[in-house]
Structure 1
Amino acid sequence: MSKIDIHADDYALSPNTSEDILQCLRAGKLNSISVLTNMSCYDAYAEKYQKGKAEWPCQPLLAVHLNFMEGHCAADPEEVKHLVDGQGYFNITWWDLFHWNYSPKKFMTIKKELKAEIKAQTERFREKFGEDLPLRFDGHQHTQMIPLCYWALLEVIVEQHYRTAYIRITKEPIMPYLRQVSLWKSYRPINWIKNLLLNFYALGMERTIKKNRPSWQSENSPMFLWGVLMSGHMDRDRIGILLPYMKKKAEDKGRCLEILFHPGSLLEEEAGEEFVSEGAKQFYLSDGRWIEKNAVMSMRTEEK
């Protein structure tokens, strides 16, 4: 049987988002979470996590949720001036990084800035959660999948000698979705595009990580990520239908199955200057996050 990892992104996005995820942790429903280190509530909720964890049924794995989309930069603003506005808040999009990835004039400049920010965010994580903890990395809005970003991350890992146990490769099986014809109309068309694009990037990313892994870094376990095509609406009903097929696909390929949820909701009064993108803000405020939290809370032990 392949391992199943019930995962929550966006801890420390906001106080309410964090409280929702803490409820899931107290109920023992999560195997792992990703932590944003550059949002204004990070210090308070890193401390709240540390104070409360001893009482939880199980201890989740923690990942640095690299964030270039919201919040204030962790690096000196002068080191990341193409990524932030005059106040040091990120003001770029996923598509900006996508375009820079293919720009000979911008690639090296942006990679240098990304490296400075990745190191700064990682050091903030280590300050709160310990320097000896093996590091796990993923990216807010899956930016780690863009070659420009994962090369920056890999170079930081090597240069800083970070003991790294995991880097998320967003590789989502498509066949379980295609087999369930009755669900086709329930998926957002834009998410089909995301699935195909990220799966394309996953091919090169897996080869690159395997080829460039230092001898002192643990091997990145092969995995599938389930949560792109249904992003923002990982509801209980469709999970129940698709889970057996996703599990079988992972077992057949000898991969871990990471089931990605966003179970933390942003409150309207929390949506201040840290949140530049109106589109992303609506996602954080949507009912889909409440639906995903209910799905996490309803997961049974045998499903994990």
Structure 2
Amino acid sequence: MGVAFHADDYGITEQQARDILALSSACGGDGALSSVSIFVNSPAFEIAADLARPYVESGALRMALHLNLVEGRPCASTAEVPLLVNARGTFCNDFVGLLKLSHGPQRWEFRRQLQRECEAQITRYLQAFPQMKDVLRLDSHQHTHAVPAVFDAAMATVREQGCTLVHLRCPVEPLRPHRAVGNHMPPINLAKDALITWLWRSNRGKVPAGCASSLFCGVVLSGAMDKVSWPLVEAFDSIARDRAQNVEVLFHPVSVPIEQCLDPQNEPFAQACASEARDREAACLRKLAHNRSLA
């Protein structure tokens, strides 16, 4: 079964990074985790990169860049990206805010600033993992790369830096597997999935040749990924096999004290970062590994 159990938001703090790696049996821990996406704009980036490096280099753990345009401080100077930040020098737009800016009167300057920040983040990532230039894996915080302007900026940066993109998250989630196992699908999450699906139509034809995408699970149960079970995973895998794809099951495991989040004053993100739901997702990853061993 080609299933990756994936953790976004890796590297907010050193302790969170250690706790996430402990969810991977391949990294000497106890859990089903097999890949992570790292925040390069985190103050703990270098430490988190050092912790993961032995497992990444050995092939035990897959690493992706978690492009972040909505939380914390930019990697570019704030003077270069004023449309992206507030007076405190932290990102000030969420998914909808970025989408609005991409259609507003400053849209061309906004796109230029987006590309500058994408360049700064990819550069910092490659400084820590230079081998990733030829095997770049990319996704984004809050799935903002579904916004066509963000997608275009990211792909332009990938080309200009001479990177080979081998995997790009396609955050479009089918509902059939959830219906098959009787999952409750919160209306707000269904609306998010519908918006991302609609926006992604503009991006499909612009994915670089040779770049793979996995069948995705992670929006419809957002905030409740502890409800993931092996029957649900198998339902996704059945569709993926028909499409000759792998499956990516996205978790946000391990809560972080709110004062240690990337921007404690950005309440919606900070509250999500500190939520006990993240610890339940960590427990689910351990349970999935245990249940698989009993199968």
**When the two structures are superposed, what TM-score results if normalisation uses the length of structure 1?**
0.87
CA distance in 2, matches of 1:98, 1:303: 45
- SS of 1:232's partner is coil
- SS of 1:5's partner is strand
1:5 pairs with 2:30: no
The alpha-carbon deviation at position 250 of structure 1 amounts to 1.4
1:248 pairs with 2:243: no
CA distance in 1, matches of 2:293, 2:173: 22
CA distance in 2, matches of 1:29, 1:242: 15
Kept in 1, the 8 Å contact 2:167–2:213? The answer is: no
Residues 285 and 271 (structure 1), Cα distance of their counterparts in 2 relative to 1, 3 Å cut = same
- SS of 1:155's partner is helix
Letter aligned with residue 95 of structure 2: W
Match of 1:100 in 2: 101
Match of 2:229 in 1: 239
Deviation per CA, 1:123-155, whole angstroms, max 9, x where unpaired?
111111225542111000100111010011111
1:261 pairs with 2:251: yes
- SS of 2:234's partner is helix
The alpha-carbon deviation at position 266 of structure 1 amounts to 1.0
Match of 1:82 in 2: 83
Deviation per CA, 1:10-39, whole angstroms, max 9, x where unpaired?
111233321221211332632211000001
CA distance in 1, matches of 2:140, 2:293: 29
What are the residue-to-residue correspondences of 1:1-304 with 2, within 5 Å? 3-25=2-24, 26=27, 27=29, 29-50=32-53, 53=55, 59-103=60-104, 105-131=105-131, 133=133, 134-181=135-182, 183-184=183-184, 187-209=185-207, 213=208, 219-235=210-226, 237-271=227-261, 274-300=263-289
The alpha-carbon deviation at position 298 of structure 1 amounts to 2.1
CA distance in 1, matches of 2:57, 2:96: 42
Residues 109 and 32 (structure 1), Cα distance of their counterparts in 2 relative to 1, 3 Å cut = same
The alpha-carbon deviation at position 61 of structure 1 amounts to 1.4
CA distance in 2, matches of 1:303, 1:147: 44
The alpha-carbon deviation at position 102 of structure 1 amounts to 2.4
- SS of 2:6's partner is strand
Letter aligned with residue 252 of structure 1: D
Query: Structure 1 regions of 5+ residues with no counterpart?
Result: none
- SS of 1:21's partner is helix
Residues 303 and 166 (structure 1), Cα distance of their counterparts in 2 relative to 1, 3 Å cut = farther
Query: Structure 2 regions of 5+ residues with no counterpart?
Result: none
Residues 195 and 159 (structure 1), Cα distance of their counterparts in 2 relative to 1, 3 Å cut = same
Residues 120 and 89 (structure 1), Cα distance of their counterparts in 2 relative to 1, 3 Å cut = same
- SS of 2:223's partner is coil
Residues 230 and 163 (structure 1), Cα distance of their counterparts in 2 relative to 1, 3 Å cut = same
Letter aligned with residue 147 of structure 2: I
Residues 303 and 155 (structure 1), Cα distance of their counterparts in 2 relative to 1, 3 Å cut = farther
Residues 55 and 150 (structure 1), Cα distance of their counterparts in 2 relative to 1, 3 Å cut = closer
CA RMSD for the aligned pairs?
A: 2.4
Kept in 1, the 8 Å contact 2:148–2:200? The answer is: no
Between 224-233 and 240-249, report the one with greater CA deviation.
240-249
The alpha-carbon deviation at position 192 of structure 1 amounts to 0.9
Letter aligned with residue 101 of structure 1: S
Residues 238 and 62 (structure 1), Cα distance of their counterparts in 2 relative to 1, 3 Å cut = closer
Identity, in percent, stands at 27
CA distance in 1, matches of 2:56, 2:162: 30
Deviation per CA, 1:196-231, whole angstroms, max 9, x where unpaired?
11122233322221xxx3xxxx61224211010111
CA distance in 1, matches of 2:217, 2:20: 19
Letter aligned with residue 275 of structure 2: S
Report how many aligned residue pairs link the two structures: 288
